[in-house]
Amino acid sequence: MFRAVSLTIIRPTAKEPSTTRWSALGKVPGRAASGPAQAVEPLIAAFRAAHPAADPAELRRAYEVAERMHRGQMRKSGNPYITHPLAVATILAGLGMDRTCLIAALLHDTVEDTAYTLGEVRADFGDEVAVIVDGVTKLDGARWGKETAEAETFRKIVLAAAADLRVLIIKLADRLHNLRTLGAQPPHKRERIARATLDLLIPFADRLGIHVLKREMDDLAFATLDPEAFGETQAKVREVLRLVEAELGPAAAMLRSALADNGVRAEVELRPRHLHSVHKTLPGDLAGLRTSEVIRFLVLVDGSEQDCYVALGAVHAALHPITGRVKDYIAIPRFNLYRALHTVLIGPDGDMLDVIIRNRRMHEVAEYGLIAHIRQGSGGGAAEEFAGRRDLAWLARLLAWQSDAPSAAFLDGLRTDLREGNMPIFTPEGLIVPLPPRSTALDYAYALDPETGEHSIGALINGRLAPLSAEVRLGNVVEILTAPDACPGPDWLEFVRTAQARVHIQGFLDAQAADERARSGREALSAALAAQGVDLLAAETAGDSLGVARSLGHSSPESLYLALADGALPLDDALSRFATRDFEPDHSAPPE
């Protein structure tokens, strides 16, 4: 018979378990009452399972440091705080992450919450661990302000991930464990954490292709934000799953037989979709839920890419395919290098059956994403190991625009950039530029290069002339037309979709507006000085304007003129400095 995958959903609980338990991501330790040596053993066992030849001595030492530094600190659940970093490290060990990553996970809250300094981390465990711990450490909300701290913390994570992607992976494991124990938090905080998870952390997991983390985080956030719908969906799905063998067994047998007849060695698995996926697809319409709407057929091929295409032909011969519902993610992988063949078949009873075909290597990447590449590579995760990877194009785009965005705009742009998947758009040379659905030719221009976007005047889409506001579609070949004197206008903000384009356009318009205000301030000062017999142009040529500007706490004459226009500096103050030629710094004036 076919292999059925059981559906296990973990609700957020008020207390962490007092004994260890197995999850899809490894053993998660509970209370450390039995002592440090015993508490760390599940982590060591999971690490050795993935890295049998590695020495766990440094891992034990990192645990001892973390346990000592967090000693006396308690979680909201009432458990010792050390249970959290230990659980995060164990999740990562279950994913097969390397020793450096696990050490950083054990220490990830020490710099933020204890007297242990980043310098001590570096001295005790080396630069690599220190860089990762620094990347994960949150900024102080009391110092920065709550909203600014949140935005700048995510900016810091993005920048740190450019140097080492393990920063993001630790952050995801950290959030997963916090979601598992969310019941200990007050309701308002539970909702805020779950909402931020849906907006930012789950999209990050999707971008990295780590679906084993994404699915559980998705369901736990769903359970927190809409517990009634979660309970109804879970109950209905469990009810439907009891009928899987009777209703879908014949189709599975037909697929298995067809694969064998065509010489394809493959397993056929029936995999339940996670609950939030079911809810989003069929919101409020669960009464008539069918097994075919909950289950996907997964054909795991023991062979090459070519064998996957043979398998596609075999399943199409066994059950009638639906025209236009075949998706080839092998020839054109998704943005996170997910590769598979998707098709929809009509089953023996007339149901539409979703079928996914991939080989073993594709399956590992589909489940673990970038982690699979890290495990197959050197195990490092450093930036140079992933330079030029197409699955990190989204990260390159974030880095391209983040420095120009103020805190609030950065967080909004990050949510927008991560919210939706990407579709491949092609350059005339055949290179792929991934963009979210409903992007325009102008979004494409800025994705190529901000300077290209700034000087755009039109586009050729599949060889046909189109305006910058024209939407680009999956598989389009797009060429941007530019002119040296072209520049952004306010109307561009009305049709761009990507954060990268919006931030650069808004930055140009803000700079242009500031130039206009500075010009107005200069004109007002010039007129006032002329009335006193002073020529501003001559003063500028002689350097007097720069001297006055610096004496009033401004770095340049343009900054001085802007302050005059905005009313931040009284005109009389500037006039008196020009009249006396007093260029000594005014220490009472606030520096820029």
Let me know if 354 is a catalytic residue: no
At 110, the amino acid letter reads T
What DSSP character marks residue 472? Answer: P
Whole-number Cα distances in Å, 229 to 180, 240, 279, 538: 19, 16, 8, 73
Q: Of these residues, 41, 58, 64, 113, which one is catalytic?
A: 113
CA–CA dist 232, 235 (Å, integer): 5
Q: Please, which residues have CB within 8 angstroms of residue 264's CB and are 6 or more apart in sequence?
A: 301, 303, 307, 310, 311, 314
Which residues of 35-127 form beta strands (DSSP E)?
none
* Cβ–Cβ < 8 Å for 156, 97: no
CA–CA dist 453, 89 (Å, integer): 43
Which residues of 411-499 form beta strands (DSSP E)?
423-426, 432-435, 456-461, 464-466, 478-482
The CA R_g of the chain, rounded to the nearest whole Å, is: 29
Selection from 479, 443, 440, 435 nearest residue 461 by Cα = 479
Let me know if 112 is a catalytic residue: yes
Counting Cβ atoms within 10 Å, is residue 233 exposed (0-12), middle (13-18) or buried (19+)?
buried
Whole-number Cα distances in Å, 363 to 37, 106, 212, 358, 368: 36, 29, 12, 6, 8
The SS3 call for residue 27 is strand
Give the position of tokens 């519902």.
Answer: 325
Give the position of tokens 């049998």.
Answer: 52
Residues marked active site are found at 112-113
